[in-house]
Structure 1
Amino acid sequence: MSRYARQIAVPELGPLGQARLRRAHVLVVGAGGLAAPVLQYLGGAGVGRIRLVDPDRVEATNLHRQTLFRDADIGVAKSRAAAAAITALNPDCRVEAVVAALDPANVDALCDSTDLVLDCADSFAASYILSDACRAADRQLVSASVVGLDGYAGAFCGGAPSLRAVFPDLPQRLGSCAEDGVLGPVVGVIGALQAQMALALLAGLDPSPLGQLVTFDGRSLRSGKFRFADTPEPERGPRFLAPSAITAADFLVDLRAEDEAPLMRPFARRLPATAFGPGGPIPATGQRAVLCCRSGQRAWAAAERLGAVWDGNIFLVALGDPNGDIP
């Protein structure tokens, strides 16, 4: 136990907490900037098993913030390169690399047998897919997001409100690392917070971070914290659907422009989100509405407009980039 002597010496952890970490099995979705500190701290702390899911390969533009990777890793699947780095750090930690994109069709299988889920995907759709799955299974979720100089980390589900309860509405604008940029140290701060929350939950530390959200502003170097333990779950909200679950009986709409991607199914309608609302198209009786776009953001906006005039079932599909990566 000499490897873990310094953390076992922390009274709140001790040998009992260390034993809990060794028995733990966690799912980490995303092997990028947030996952770099998360994986290193969880692996270094002696978490027994990690299932790591990511569909992407390492690119040169990743290296300024995704500090697990080296120049020689460019072109290698991120989950495999990250798994190799953590195994080299601590051979006691077993890392299962899964080269795949998360979607509603595989989320339950990926979460199966895990004690905790960490959302490091930097994907609007993945966060809500994981939140819905964890709430249904009463499994704890530590989710985080960073854009530009701002970020947050929070502990949801598993006895606390879901991420969907805390963020029930689509913001007027959702940024991304690709569009707005991001500074590596801000990602490191949020990823470290995410790792601390995960270790506290796995080891049973008191007080628990469950039902808490921590924010960080890289401009002012200020942080904030608020509790959301009493936040009610929304009565309804659009759920994500896997592309494989679409049928010809659906009212299917592709919200992407013609120059963005080919029509996703021959029977789909190509419409903008603004087409929905008063006087706009609605599904026939008995149909479900399936709204598709790259990331799910336009589909959510269209669902809000359609839901204002139609009370049927609405599903969202995040198709990702044409190369199949997570949006």
Structure 2
Amino acid sequence: MTAFDSQGEFSAAEWQRYQRHIQLGDFSVAGQRALKQSKVLIVGVGGLGCPAAQYLAAAGVGHLTLVDGDRISLSNLQRQILFTEQDIGQLKSTVAAARLLELNSAITIHAVEQPLTENNAGQLIACHDLVIDCTDNFHTRYLLNDLCHDNKKPWIYSSVLGFSGQLAMFVPGGACFRCLFPEVSEVPDCNQAGVLGVVPGMLGVLQALEAIKYIARLPGVIANQLAQVNALDFRFKTFNLKTSPGCLLCQGDAGPDNFRKDYQPVCSRPDAVDRGLGPAEFIARINQPGIRLIDVRSQVEHQAFNIGGEVIPVDDLIAAGLPSALDSDAQYLLYCQSGLRSSKAVSYMQSQGVDGVWSLSGGIAALLESSDDLQ
């Protein structure tokens, strides 16, 4: 019980908590009020989502919804700063929500313990004021883009790779993600190309910054602009985005129902052949007669850590073609870091008539997480 009762829209504790915001001339009470009344949807609680959610919770966004169906793994801790070693194996959205409530108990946080899909995306987007994309794949981004366009909701995109990243805010009436990326691109993710842990942290903070600026109606929001950041030489570049005359979504010639094929990775589509093996089955097959074990990562990755076999990077395998690189009559087990490159190699080999080929589902990451005895 305080020595006085607050009669305003902010409690005494809230007023004290946010006073540095309120003292800003361009921000003031109106900006803090707008944050308190806002509802923000964060899709993905990883390297981008952790810092974005942390700063938005600290800033006083009244309602945060965290969407993520993944569980915390050891490899996440290099960049996903809301989590600790004791959290490994737990759901990211649940742990993050609990941590953020410890930071600010005056706000509401809802954890959605499943990935964003066609089944839940429409309802989630419709009941929020702003959407922040903290995912790592194009398929979810197209789903977000199309449904945000359909619901006239702004959303903030960001992606990171290696030492660089980019972000943009797409607002109703302006250019959309399809104007920038008309077709699904096969861009390597962090599991394939790696990322310096602090880089997604930097981009996630910038997403939070743009969200706060937009909600509080501060100047300088990067609406309809693409910002690119290179962390090594600390260069920032911005490019104006314009609506593409060839964008079927912006021109009103198509909607979400017309783009459903873009919302699923190739490996999960109905016509895809499942050639993935779980860690236990994969290991059991390695020593069987006639098996060739192939690491489709780079030689450098193989030298750092491997589970045996020969090295044929996926791009080299495809460039060399068959049968010069491989024997179409042999049996093959392929692996990589996350299972993406090995799945790509399996698809290629199948298209070339190789039937006896399988991929390690989830890659080395899944293998390590499934076995405490593997060193």
**Separation of aligned partners in 1, 2:262 and 2:77:** 31
Check 1:242–1:221 CA distance in 2 against 1; reply closer, same or farther (3 A cut).
closer
8 Å contact kept, 1:27–1:111: yes
Is 1:83 equivalent to 2:97 in the alignment? yes
**Separation of aligned partners in 2, 1:226 and 1:102:** 29
Is 1:228 equivalent to 2:246 in the alignment? no
Equivalent residue for 2:182?
168
| TM-score (ref. length: structure 2) | 0.64
Equivalent residue for 2:198?
185
Check 1:139–1:321 CA distance in 2 against 1; reply closer, same or farther (3 A cut).
farther
**Separation of aligned partners in 2, 1:63 and 1:226:** 33
For residue 97 of structure 1, give the secondary structure of its aligned residue in structure 2: strand
Check 1:196–1:180 CA distance in 2 against 1; reply closer, same or farther (3 A cut).
same
1:30-65 deviations in whole A, cap 9, x for unaligned? 010101110111000000001110010111100010
Equivalent residue for 1:258?
275
8 Å contact kept, 2:45–2:93: yes
Equivalent residue for 2:86?
72
Q: Which amino acid aligns with 2:128?
A: T
For residue 121 of structure 1, give the secondary structure of its aligned residue in structure 2: coil
Is 1:143 equivalent to 2:143 in the alignment? no
1:160-211 deviations in whole A, cap 9, x for unaligned? 211111111344x401011111111111111111111111111111233211
Structure 1, unmatched stretches of 5+, are 245-250, 262-273, 275-293, 299-319
Equivalent residue for 1:10?
24
Is 1:194 equivalent to 2:214 in the alignment? no
**Separation of aligned partners in 2, 1:233 and 1:9:** 46
The number of residue pairs the alignment matches comes to 264
Deviates more, 1:30-39 or 1:203-212: 203-212
8 Å contact kept, 2:179–2:242: no
Is 1:62 equivalent to 2:69 in the alignment? no
For residue 58 of structure 2, give the secondary structure of its aligned residue in structure 1: helix
Q: Which amino acid aligns with 2:271?
A: V
Structure 2, unmatched stretches of 5+, are 1-14, 279-317, 319-339, 345-360, 367-375
Equivalent residue for 2:259?
239
* Deviation of the 1:240 alpha carbon: 2.8
For residue 18 of structure 2, give the secondary structure of its aligned residue in structure 1: helix
Identity %: 33
Q: Which amino acid aligns with 1:253?
A: D
Equivalent residue for 2:8?
none
For residue 234 of structure 1, give the secondary structure of its aligned residue in structure 2: coil
* Deviation of the 1:217 alpha carbon: 1.1
8 Å contact kept, 1:52–1:79: yes
8 Å contact kept, 2:46–2:76: yes
8 Å contact kept, 2:154–2:170: yes
* Deviation of the 1:233 alpha carbon: 5.8
8 Å contact kept, 1:148–1:181: yes
**Separation of aligned partners in 2, 1:115 and 1:321:** 35
**Separation of aligned partners in 2, 1:140 and 1:240:** 21
* Deviation of the 1:242 alpha carbon: 9.6
Check 1:205–1:78 CA distance in 2 against 1; reply closer, same or farther (3 A cut).
same
8 Å contact kept, 1:54–1:79: yes
Equivalent residue for 1:280?
none
Structure with larger RCO (C-alpha < 8 A, sep 6+): 1
Q: Which amino acid aligns with 1:82?
A: A
Equivalent residue for 2:147?
133
For residue 236 of structure 2, give the secondary structure of its aligned residue in structure 1: strand
8 Å contact kept, 2:48–2:134: yes
* Deviation of the 1:2 alpha carbon: 1.1
**Separation of aligned partners in 1, 2:261 and 2:184:** 18
**Separation of aligned partners in 2, 1:105 and 1:222:** 40
**Separation of aligned partners in 2, 1:45 and 1:106:** 27
8 Å contact kept, 1:103–1:242: no
Is 1:214 equivalent to 2:234 in the alignment? no
Q: Which amino acid aligns with 2:127?
A: S
**Separation of aligned partners in 1, 2:131 and 2:246:** 20
Q: Which amino acid aligns with 1:197?
A: E
| TM-score (ref. length: structure 1) | 0.73
